[in-house]
């Protein structure tokens, strides 16, 4: 009888531990507002953009709403069986950090409002994009939510911005970041100009 009771207690403790771990993982990876860690990634990325463009950091700002992934659009001649309803991230995201590609897609199913924590250190302003007839006072960069690997040592994001010169063009790109000694540094980024 004592052995049977002991076994029940062990099973109950293991069940509670598994349930707690499952809830913890679900909470950690469930959709929430952008985190301080995401703003640290944005900070590292925008700092690198400003440096590469040889501009002051205060010349750059983040757009208030994040970019969201869109459903794939298919031509009518493609058979339904060959269509996929799944949204995919860049295969380069998966090559860079594995799980972060899936995390990136899940984070970016919808737009999020960027509201930095007033107590977190964020070096850039977050602004509403100007009306088409207005000239922006800052170089505004629109970003997606950040996809992290499990250990939060690698991160990926997509971005868009107008070109730094006065021409009417758009730059679309992807950024790949590494966390070194607690600071997010851009490993590399690539962009296409249209």
- 78-112, pLDDT tens digit by residue? 555 544 455 667 789 999 998 889 899 899 988 99
Region 58-71: mean pLDDT is 88
In-domain check, residue 10: no
In a domain, 1, yes or no: no
Q: Residue 28: inside a domain, yes or no? A: no
In a domain, 79, yes or no: no
Looking at per-residue pLDDT, the higher value among 59 and 77 belongs to 59
In a domain, 113, yes or no: yes
Rounded CA gap, 136 and 131, in Å? Answer: 9
Task: Kindly indicate the confidence band of residue 137, based on its pLDDT and cuts at 50, 70 and 90.
Answer: confident
Residue 136 counted as domain residue: yes
Structural domain includes residue 130: yes
pLDDT over threshold 80, residue 192: yes
Q: Kindly provide the residue ranges of all beta strands, DSSP E only, lying in the chain, ordered along the sequence.
A: 60-63, 125-127, 139-143, 147-148, 154-162, 170-180, 183-193
**What local confidence, expressed as pLDDT, does residue 70 receive?**
72
């Amino acid at each position: 009888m004592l052995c049977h009771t002991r076994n029940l207690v062990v099973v109950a403790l293991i069940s509670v531990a598994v349930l707690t771990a499952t809830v913890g993982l679900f909470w950690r990876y469930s959709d929430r507002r952008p985190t301080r860690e995401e703003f640290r990634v944005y900070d590292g990325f925008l700092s690198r953009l400003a440096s590469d463009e040889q501009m002051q950091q205060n010349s750059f700002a983040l757009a208030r709403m994040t970019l969201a992934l869109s459903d794939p659009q298919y031509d009518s001649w493609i058979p339904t069986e060959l269509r996929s309803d799944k949204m995919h991230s860049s295969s380069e995201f998966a090559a860079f950090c594995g799980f972060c590609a899936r995390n990136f897609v899940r984070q970016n199913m919808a737009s999020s409002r960027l509201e930095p924590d007033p107590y977190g250190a964020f070096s850039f302003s977050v602004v509403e994009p100007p009306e088409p007839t207005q000239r922006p006072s800052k170089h505004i960069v629109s970003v997606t939510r950040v996809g992290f690997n499990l250990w939060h040592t690698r991160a990926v994001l997509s971005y868009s911005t107008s070109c730094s010169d006065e021409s009417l063009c758009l730059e679309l790109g992807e950024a790949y970041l590494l966390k070194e000694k607690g600071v997010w540094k851009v490993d590399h980024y690539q962009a296409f100009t249209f």
